[in-house]
A and B are shown apart, each in its own frame.
Chain A
């Protein structure tokens, strides 16, 4: 059992331990928070939690509580007056917010409002926000930073199975005989799960590990086959793997016949992708592609996990769907050891998807299905015309474009830091600072984004409020309030409810739209909303969570949890039940109800694919290298919490850039040189590390913004990887393409 207590505190000093789970990645490790004298003083892993079995990683051990208790916490609302953010009372701040909101609703209507939220709030908070946005205001402009981390996971599942919902579970890792990590550096993203994998790799009968990643990551170093593909070429590789499985007859024909549609189209798409052809495009050896395919094709129980190397790269959804296809072709779904895991990045991303604060409709309902919209209208007591369902919800990048063009003039950002995390930062900073746009930011700290806001609302965070959240394998934990928030900080739920009350949103019968008094009311309302849908929470109450700890959805009253979805190979593809009719994977064109019905999938999964198109900004004579981004094991996102944990800050204090030895020699650099990486959009300056990255590629971690840098660092000494990235997104999932941009490098002087 992993445990960390503050200096000078012994276990005997702890007043009480309060059950929670870690919110620093999508694993959601069960933990207890140590409390002494009304303060959080440490954490320990929960030994019998099925997710982590007592383990915690560096982020969880250090930052989960140290990241909350820092002296920089916001303790009072701030309102911009004469250009300066100055302290204000809640009443003053909320009055400013509500007045602007009302005025714009009167003048322009709901389309003037946008909400950009997080993957780090609690379920209850997302559901409140979803109702406010969809039934109170009635705007389609709602998304979260989940668009940056998990949109492709959701869409790849929706395209193949017609509904969101993680098919596999972590127990599959204990039983697999092959493990494929697609663009997933698990040793940095989910350290605890990587420990679980290491137990297998170092134990008896280890699984064969295959890794797709341009970098020689710690997971790649353990791989039997490491496919270090050129950034942006995943789909070519995947079509070659599909082709090999088909050509060699490694398919489970009975399963494919009975439970899938679209085999012939898939065969046609894959046909040109011989290992040689893919090898040329991807920059890997044909023999390695053959070997990876053989491992997939001949193992008995394969687990696949997919993450940002696929999700944030070119043709993200199309490439990720090929992973689903491989599992379907081999009949490897819904049974122990054969787990498909389209991973999430953030701890509560799944709840944003469940509850629809990311723009989806709550409960995996289909915006094109009038009966689904009517169900929500009934639940919320409003006319279905109020709920926007005339087009897909506005995705984050489009939402910011509307702000840039001045058609969204009220933007409410909660628990996320787009001024560091969105692509092409110079542009994003300008958009947020645009004087015509009224921007509300709700956060723990004065982030780079909050500094540009018109109103800043101090939020309570982990340990300071109660709520539930669901990890990447559909496992729900309850995180209980342990201590009081600092100063006047309030939970995000309280803030949203206060806004709803002040706006006087009402149901058709005149009752308040949101009459909840606290998180448990919100949770009960959500349970009703989830009833009968794939993410059914009706058999998971707060009481159950207190008693059982971790519970996996779906669970209906009196039933047990469904550990693996689709064990019966009955997929969500019935037209009246499905969440989505799907898209053309090359363009993102809607398939629509009629064409979906004509497919007659009726419970069968859909084998979808697209022609390979390649990255849109390939290297050229001017910008000869391919830039890609990623994380450090010690940090989460923009370091808002992790850099405030001294141990983590010391372990990874500042940005660096990685290049391959051959490229370094060619440029005449040496390890430790300060170099400038420049793209068509901006530049960063950082010390060089020579690593095992594939030649032609340049890597930088994306954590390093400017809140702890000297004034003006954005210009003089830029460090945020997103200064370089391109404004572009996947055609289907609309996830931004962070992992392919063309850059050039030069030695420079350290300007700090």
Chain B
């Protein structure tokens, strides 16, 4: 069974996403909405990660040769500055959040097929929050894009 691979992948991607939010929050402190919401969303990702730990333990480690490192999405290396940098950083976050979002979807499908009520409960608690992250990032990018691409210095 390969579900453990995807559970590890999901746990890793929540951690990567949390770290990336923290990094963006740190660099874009002059955009208070981005700053504070990234901190809030990082905390949510860390909570997801903790909830997944129990599930990962229950299903066991991923079998050798399928270690999540070979599958996972890279986090953000360094944040950019300025209006264009902010837009591009949000876009990176969007990719990571979407990746996490769709990974939840697949884990949910497997949990349903396995009739794993406990895992479904974890999915229920987390999946929606990541979907909101994706929508928030879209909302914020839509707002910022015209100004950045047309009028910014």
Q: How far is the CB of B117 from chain A (nearest CB, A)?
A: 17
Is A646 interfacial (CB-CB < 8 Å)?
no
Is B64 interfacial (CB-CB < 8 Å)?
no
Is A374 interfacial (CB-CB < 8 Å)?
no
Contact yes or no, B132 A408, CB < 8 A: no
Given A109-B150, A111-B150, verify A729-B33 contact (CB < 8 Å): yes
Which chain B residues border A391 with CB–CB below 8 Å? 142-143, 146
Question: CB-nearest residue of chain B relative to A595?
Answer: B135
Q: How far is the CB of A104 from chain B (nearest CB, A)?
A: 10
Question: What 1/0 mask marks residues of chain B from 6 to 50 whose CB sits below 8 Å from any chain A CB?
Answer: 000000000000000000000000111100110011000000000
Question: CB-nearest residue of chain B relative to A583?
Answer: B139
Which chain B residues border A616 with CB–CB below 8 Å? 36
Which chain A residues border B152 with CB–CB below 8 Å? 405-407
How many residues on the B side are at the interface (Cβ–Cβ under 8 A)? 23
In the assembly, what is the distance between CA of A392 and CA of B30, in Å?
Answer: 21
Given A111-B146, A391-B146, A728-B32, verify A587-B132 contact (CB < 8 Å): yes
Question: CB-nearest residue of chain B relative to A398?
Answer: B143
Question: What 1/0 mask marks residues of chain A from 389 to 410 whose CB sits below 8 Å from any chain B CB?
Answer: 0111010001001100111100
Is A584 interfacial (CB-CB < 8 Å)?
yes
Given A111-B150, A391-B146, verify A584-B83 contact (CB < 8 Å): no
Contact yes or no, B36 A109, CB < 8 A: no
Q: Which of B91-146 contact A (CB under 8 A)?
A: 132-133, 135-136, 138-139, 142-143, 146
Is A379 interfacial (CB-CB < 8 Å)?
no
Contact yes or no, A111 B147, CB < 8 A: yes
Which chain A residues border B147 with CB–CB below 8 Å? 111, 402, 407
Question: What 1/0 mask marks residues of chain A from 361 to 382 whose CB sits below 8 Å from any chain B CB?
Answer: 0000000000000000000000
Contact yes or no, B31 A407, CB < 8 A: no
Contact yes or no, A731 B150, CB < 8 A: no
Pick the residue among A109, A587, A591, A613 that contacts B151 (CB under 8 A).
A109
Is B77 interfacial (CB-CB < 8 Å)?
no
Contact yes or no, A587 B31, CB < 8 A: no
Q: How far is the CB of A739 from chain B (nearest CB, A)?
A: 16
Given A111-B146, A391-B146, A731-B37, verify A588-B139 contact (CB < 8 Å): yes
- Residue from A394, A406, A587 whose CB has the most chain B CB atoms within 10 Å: A587
Pick the residue among B32, B83, B132, B139 that contacts A727 (CB under 8 A).
B32
Contact yes or no, A592 B33, CB < 8 A: no
Contact yes or no, B142 A728, CB < 8 A: no
In the assembly, what is the distance between CA of A88 and CA of B78, in Å?
Answer: 52
Contact yes or no, A588 B83, CB < 8 A: no
Given A390-B142, A401-B31, A729-B32, verify A584-B136 contact (CB < 8 Å): yes
Which chain A residues border B40 with CB–CB below 8 Å? 586-587, 613
In the assembly, what is the distance between CA of A15 and CA of B133, in Å?
Answer: 65
Pick the residue among B33, B37, B41, B150 that contacts A108 (CB under 8 A).
B150
Which chain B residues border A109 with CB–CB below 8 Å? 150-151
Question: What 1/0 mask marks residues of chain A from 190 to 212 whose CB sits below 8 Å from any chain B CB?
Answer: 00000000000000000000000
In the assembly, what is the distance between CA of A402 and CA of B150, in Å?
Answer: 12
What's the interface size class on A, roughly? 20 to 34
Contact yes or no, A112 B139, CB < 8 A: no
Is B153 interfacial (CB-CB < 8 Å)?
yes
Given A728-B32, A728-B36, verify A111-B151 contact (CB < 8 Å): yes
Pick the residue among A390, A392, A587 that contacts B136 (CB under 8 A).
A587
Which chain A residues border B133 with CB–CB below 8 Å? 587, 589
Contact yes or no, B32 A590, CB < 8 A: no
Contact yes or no, B135 A407, CB < 8 A: no
Which chain A residues border B146 with CB–CB below 8 Å? 111, 140, 390-391
Contact yes or no, B139 A405, CB < 8 A: no
Q: Which of A276-303 contact B (CB under 8 A)?
A: none
In the assembly, what is the distance between CA of A736 and CA of B7, in Å?
Answer: 41
Pick the residue among B33, B83, B139 that contacts A590 (CB under 8 A).
B139
Question: CB-nearest residue of chain B relative to A587?
Answer: B136
In the assembly, what is the distance between CA of A165 and CA of B139, in Å?
Answer: 25
Which chain B residues border A405 with CB–CB below 8 Å? 83, 152-153
Contact yes or no, B150 A587, CB < 8 A: no
Contact yes or no, B37 A407, CB < 8 A: no
Q: How far is the CB of A392 from chain B (nearest CB, A)?
A: 6
Q: How far is the CB of A105 from chain B (nearest CB, A)?
A: 11
Pick the residue among A407, A589, A726 that contacts B83 (CB under 8 A).
A407
Contact yes or no, A588 B136, CB < 8 A: yes
Which chain A residues border B135 with CB–CB below 8 Å? 584, 587, 589-592
In the assembly, what is the distance between CA of A408 and CA of B150, in Å?
Answer: 11
Contact yes or no, B153 A392, CB < 8 A: no
Which chain A residues border B31 with CB–CB below 8 Å? 401
- Residue from B30, B132, B133, B147 whose CB has the most chain A CB atoms within 10 Å: B147
In the assembly, what is the distance between CA of A391 and CA of B150, in Å?
Answer: 15
Which chain B residues border A111 with CB–CB below 8 Å? 146-147, 150-151
Question: CB-nearest residue of chain A relative to B43?
Answer: A613
Which chain B residues border A590 with CB–CB below 8 Å? 135, 138-139
- Residue from A402, A405, A726 whose CB has the most chain B CB atoms within 10 Å: A405
In the assembly, what is the distance between CA of A419 and CA of B152, in Å?
Answer: 24
Question: CB-nearest residue of chain A relative to B30?
Answer: A401
Which chain B residues border A390 with CB–CB below 8 Å? 142, 146
Which chain B residues border A392 with CB–CB below 8 Å? 139, 143
Given A391-B142, A587-B37, A729-B32, verify A407-B151 contact (CB < 8 Å): yes
Which chain A residues border B41 with CB–CB below 8 Å? 587
Contact yes or no, B132 A584, CB < 8 A: yes
Which chain B residues border A727 with CB–CB below 8 Å? 32
Pick the residue among B142, B143, B153 that contacts A406 (CB under 8 A).
B153
In the assembly, what is the distance between CA of A108 and CA of B150, in Å?
Answer: 7
Pick the residue among B136, B150, B151 that contacts A589 (CB under 8 A).
B136
- Residue from A408, A584, A728 whose CB has the most chain B CB atoms within 10 Å: A584
Question: CB-nearest residue of chain A relative to B148?
Answer: A407
In the assembly, what is the distance between CA of A140 and CA of B142, in Å?
Answer: 12
Q: Which of B48-106 contact A (CB under 8 A)?
A: 83
In the assembly, what is the distance between CA of A726 and CA of B36, in Å?
Answer: 12
Contact yes or no, A408 B36, CB < 8 A: no
In the assembly, what is the distance between CA of A390 and CA of B139, in Å?
Answer: 11
In the assembly, what is the distance between CA of A728 and CA of B41, in Å?
Answer: 17
Which chain A residues border B138 with CB–CB below 8 Å? 589-590
Question: What 1/0 mask marks residues of chain A from 403 to 435 whose CB sits below 8 Å from any chain B CB?
Answer: 001111000000000000000000000000000
Q: How far is the CB of A39 from chain B (nearest CB, A)?
A: 47
Q: How far is the CB of A409 from chain B (nearest CB, A)?
A: 8
In the assembly, what is the distance between CA of A390 and CA of B143, in Å?
Answer: 8
Q: Which of A565-600 contact B (CB under 8 A)?
A: 584, 586-592
In the assembly, what is the distance between CA of A728 and CA of B36, in Å?
Answer: 9
In the assembly, what is the distance between CA of A584 and CA of B135, in Å?
Answer: 9
Which chain A residues border B132 with CB–CB below 8 Å? 584, 586-587, 589
- Given A405-B153, A407-B153, A590-B135; 6 other pairs, CB 8 A cutoff: A392-B143, A401-B30, A402-B147, A406-B152, A587-B136, A728-B36
- Enumerate chain B interface residues (CB-CB to A < 8 A): 30-33, 36-37, 40-41, 83, 132-133, 135-136, 138-139, 142-143, 146-147, 150-153
- Can you report 6 residue pairs joining A to B where beta carbons are below 8 Å apart? A406-B153, A587-B37, A587-B133, A588-B139, A589-B139, A731-B33
5 smallest CB-CB distances across A and B, nearest first, come from: A589-B136, A589-B135, A111-B151, A407-B151, A587-B136
